[in-house]
Structure 1
Amino acid sequence: MSTSHRDGVGKPAILVTAADLAPQALELLDAYDIVYAGKNPTEQDIVSLCRDHDPVAIIVRYSKVGAAAMDAARSLKVISKHGSGTDTIDKAAAAARGIQVVAAAGANAAAVAEQAMALLLACAKSIVGLNARMHAGYWDKATHKSAELAGKTLGLVGLGAIGRKMARMADSMDMRILGYDPYATDLPGYLSRADLATIWRESDAISLHCPLTEENRNLLNAQTLAQCKRGVYVVNTARGGLVDEMALLEAIRSGQVKAAGLDSFGVEPMAAGHPFRNEPGIILSPHIGGVTQEAYVNMGIAAAKNALAALHGQA
């Protein structure tokens, strides 16, 4: 376990489950002793640091925060996510202990939506494969035809800040857009609300933008993939648990799914020997959709502000 501190003798502690935080966020937290958990903290590392430093807040970037960490931090008031997804935090345990859980919703929306669109375009335009062929000395102009997204239907599952930005980009590309989100209101005119059955049946491309819950785990599975158009594109920049990975692999190999662009996985980092690594129909990125310099600052500031609001009784 690698830890470091910002000098804060006598100040209440805030634990950051990472090795760094944006300077703009640190300025907001000047009244607190910042304890860093290091680059790759384990869940047990977090428990030990909570026991040693008794933080009043935890800013979560990496690792899980469960009941054991909460019990070890007797003064803990708030757990603030450096991002929008709170599935790595045991929210039931936090609620039972009166600990607030807050997220930096929307702070990385532009970054993730851009990554999702980049993955979709890479799938439709065969960017990765053509690049490899060119580097190997081939010129496939006479034999290759890419797909055109204009006029095609994009199905979005989740219409929060990220899903809506993705919809806006797709609209500018003259795509038809269907969206499923039981909680979304005030949808723009170019985005048509649809149920999941319609999303599966009518979409030429499907992009996931919803949080992971026990109810939607393996949302894309053998059954739902079979309901999709043959040759559909699949993009996931949300959470790996939304996709049954072996079912997707089989659908890629059978041609039911033309190509997939994935930025999140059931187990991260991806295990050695994972079959996705040798599958040319799947484009991979290491869960970096929200990792831009701009999003790093935005998420840090939002996480810090959310923690302070809770600590000051304003949340």
Structure 2
Amino acid sequence: MQNRKIVLLDTLTFGETDLSCFDELGSVDAYKTTSADETQKRITEAEIIVTNKVVITAKHMQEAKKLKLICVAATGTNNVDLQAAQELGIVVKNVAGYSTDSVIQHTFSMLFYLIGHARYYDEVVKSGTYSKSAIFTDVSHPFFEIKGKKWGIIGLGEIGRGVANIAKCFGSELCYYSTSGVNRNEDFQRVTLDELLTTCDIISIHAPLNEKTKNLLDYEQLLTCKEGAVVLNLGRGGIVNEKAVAKLVDEKNILFALDVFEKEPLPQESPLLHVAHTERLYMTPHIAWTSVEAREKLINSVCENIKSSL
């Protein structure tokens, strides 16, 4: 078994997660990152590839004569040419459900950061401004309770349902829009996208990126959101038009939280990095999936995928 060559192409995406389970399955070459120019050379002798985001093309597979298995350390497999893999008899396995709880938690983390004005209140204390206050409190930046507020979910899959159930515990009124058009859930009210956008105080996105969801929320759609509404995108970049977000942040009192972007890392020239009302925009670098537990579960699942294929 130790002669079986396993190549890990982008271990930096796993952080400090223990990768020793791979050593039990074969001879491992591990690379922190792999550029497009480096991919072919690194996988030429591999029987098994583990990739998170490194793209594996038909040409890569054709020239990697020993390749039998591609393990995608993620749910999405859009970085692998699946048709070519099938034609060449190469098995492709992904991992689903490993980050559900992590994404749900980060959804609420982003919401509370925004509506609680966490950046302002943290700085007002640390800067010494609060120490000079004439009163014991600071009510200059009011926050609202999510109890009784209407929360709309776009994409009621496993993550969307998890968010809905927790929001319900807080006392929010729930509704959802099915991006596929076929989703049915008797626990929550199904509405049109227009109704969701115009009536909800909080909107969270947990949908995949596909032909139906690409630019689903563009400028005209987002403009219909209520004054003071909060829009959270933890689905995929590209579902919400980033130029529209950057424009609206400075035109209307709508709060946006984005953990995913159309191009990652976010380009320095992105309009999102040049808005005036930064207090209305909270962005994190695609970290919702990265809890310690989620990454451990991911790596263990990839190793199990390899074991089941041997």
Cα displacement string for residues 137-179 of structure 1 (whole angstroms, at most 9, x for unaligned residues) = 3347142211221111222222232222211221111112222
SS for the counterpart of 2:238 is helix
Hey, what's the Cα distance between the residues in 1 that align with 2:49 and 2:209? 21
- Larger radius of gyration, structure 1 or 2? 2
Contact 2:232 2:258 in 1 (8 A): yes
Hey, what's the Cα distance between the residues in 1 that align with 2:222 and 2:204? 13
Contact 1:115 1:289 in 2 (8 A): yes
Matched-pair identity in %: 24
The residue identity in structure 1 corresponding to 2:291 is T
Say if 2:122 is the partner of 1:131: yes
SS for the counterpart of 2:50 is strand
Hey, what's the Cα distance between the residues in 1 that align with 2:49 and 2:186? 36
Hey, what's the Cα distance between the residues in 2 that align with 1:118 and 1:198? 26
The two structures, once aligned, show a CA RMSD in angstroms of 2.6
> Superposed, which structure 2 residues align to 1:235-246 within 5 Å?
235-246=232-243
The residue identity in structure 2 corresponding to 1:13 is K
Say if 2:5 is the partner of 1:13: yes
Contact 1:159 1:179 in 2 (8 A): yes
Say if 2:251 is the partner of 1:260: no
SS for the counterpart of 2:146 is coil
**Deviates most, 178-187 or 124-133:** 178-187
> 2:106 maps to which residue?
115
Hey, what's the Cα distance between the residues in 2 that align with 1:94 and 1:228? 44
Superposition TM-score, scaled by structure 2 size:
0.84
> Superposed, which structure 2 residues align to 1:272-311 within 5 Å?
272-279=268-275, 280=278, 281-309=280-308, 311=309
Equivalent position to 1:32, from 26, 30, 33: 26
Say if 2:72 is the partner of 1:75: no
State how many pairs are aligned. Answer: 297
Q: CA deviation at 1:108?
A: 0.9
Hey, what's the Cα distance between the residues in 2 that align with 1:123 and 1:111? 19
Q: CA deviation at 1:284?
A: 1.5
Say if 2:137 is the partner of 1:144: no
SS for the counterpart of 1:241 is coil
Contact 2:164 2:174 in 1 (8 A): yes
**Deviates most, 119-128 or 97-106:** 97-106
Contact 2:199 2:226 in 1 (8 A): yes
Contact 1:154 1:177 in 2 (8 A): yes
Equivalent position to 2:222, from 222, 225, 233: 225
Hey, what's the Cα distance between the residues in 1 that align with 2:139 and 2:229? 25
Distance 1:204 1:153, change over 3 A: same
Say if 2:71 is the partner of 1:104: no
SS for the counterpart of 1:115 is helix
Distance 1:142 1:31, change over 3 A: closer
The residue identity in structure 2 corresponding to 1:57 is I
Q: CA deviation at 1:115?
A: 0.7
SS for the counterpart of 2:167 is helix
> Superposed, which structure 2 residues align to 1:73-222 within 5 Å?
73-139=64-130, 141-181=138-178, 182=180, 187=185, 189=187, 191-222=188-219
Contact 1:56 1:78 in 2 (8 A): yes
Hey, what's the Cα distance between the residues in 2 that align with 1:56 and 1:282? 45
Which gives a bigger RCO, structure 1 or 2 (Cα 8 Å, sep 6+)?
1
Contact 1:109 1:161 in 2 (8 A): yes
Contact 1:79 1:307 in 2 (8 A): no
The residue identity in structure 1 corresponding to 2:120 is G
> 2:52 maps to which residue?
61
Residue segments in structure 2 that go unaligned for 5+ positions in a row? 131-136
Contact 1:78 1:100 in 2 (8 A): yes
Distance 1:137 1:50, change over 3 A: same
Distance 1:188 1:304, change over 3 A: farther
Hey, what's the Cα distance between the residues in 1 that align with 2:224 and 2:69? 42
